[in-house]
Homo-oligomer: A and B are copies of this chain.
Amino acid sequence: MQADRFGVLRFIQPGLKVPTNNDPKRNQLLAALPEAEFQRWLPHLESVDWALGKVVYESGGGLSHVFFPTTAIVSLLHVMEDGDSAEIAVVGHEGIVGVFLFMGGATTPSRAVVQSAGKGIRLKADFLLREFNKIGPVMHLLLRYTQALITQMSQTAVCNRHHTLDQQLCRWLLLSLDRLASSDLVMTQELIANMLGVRREGVTEAAGHLSDAGLISYRRGRIKVLDRPGLEKRSCECYRVVKDEYDKLLPVGEAV
């Protein structure tokens, strides 16, 4: 798998605008493209490097590119007039940021923020739109992904309503973990609180519980997950439902 990826990288090197440490195929949507499609896209892919907290797009703003995270994680936040916010979905290497573009909305009332620093691939909006509008695997792939995103959003809505902060924190950690290579999250409690739409103190307390139970260790903006199965057990069902839906709609390794 590693070897394969590097093999591909060597092959595409000539026309590649992205550095070798940011393999586009780390993004599962790009990897799921038919090879011919991928080769055509390749010259148009550009590498981007995101710092923690970078705003990818702003609520109400337009979009010149769409983004395929490779190692970064991006949160979709819904922001309200008084500044209160809540995360409605999270996008990592399995997805694309800027779905509303091909859904036909010029803008969206949400904000995309980099939740975990890392790299991604960007692609010009009009290029993607043209590709989308040819009926074919690209469109169906993107729509299936959007359906998975919708599931995540509705699950989040229900979770906000019914589950305790402890459970939600577990869910959130697991979703982030799935999108990272390591089990270390660089993330202050303040940030997590913003994502979950709760007070920072609440996160301190919930994290304290998880720490006491030996599931995580926490030190100054750095969370280490010690017992992943334990987290899953303590999480509400929401994590599993969302994960299953993603797995069903976007089988890893599928060739479309």
Contact = CB atoms under 8 A, between A and B. Distances in A.
Interface of A: 76, 78, 80-81, 84-86, 88-89, 99-100, 102-105, 108-110, 133-135, 140, 143-144, 146-147, 149-151, 153-158, 160-162, 197-198, 237, 241, 245, 249
A100 B150 CA distance: 9
Leading 4 A-B pairs by shortest Cβ distance: A157-B157, A103-B147, A104-B144, A88-B154
Candidate in A100, A110, A157, A245 with the most chain B CB atoms within 10 angstroms: A157
A103 B153 contact: no
Contacts of A78: 154-155, 157-158
B109 A151 contact: yes
A249 B143 CA distance: 18
Contact of A86 (B86, B103, B157): B157
Given A78-B154, A103-B147, A154-B153, A86 B161 contact: yes
A206 to B, nearest CB: 15
A176 to B, nearest CB: 18
A81 B159 CA distance: 12
Contacts of A134: 135
A156 to B, nearest CB: 5
24 contacts: A76-B154, A78-B154, A78-B155, A78-B157, A78-B158, A80-B158, A84-B162, A86-B157, A86-B158, A88-B158, A99-B150, A103-B144, A103-B150, A104-B140, A104-B143, A104-B147, A109-B151, A134-B135, A135-B135, A146-B146, A149-B150, A153-B154, A161-B197, A161-B198
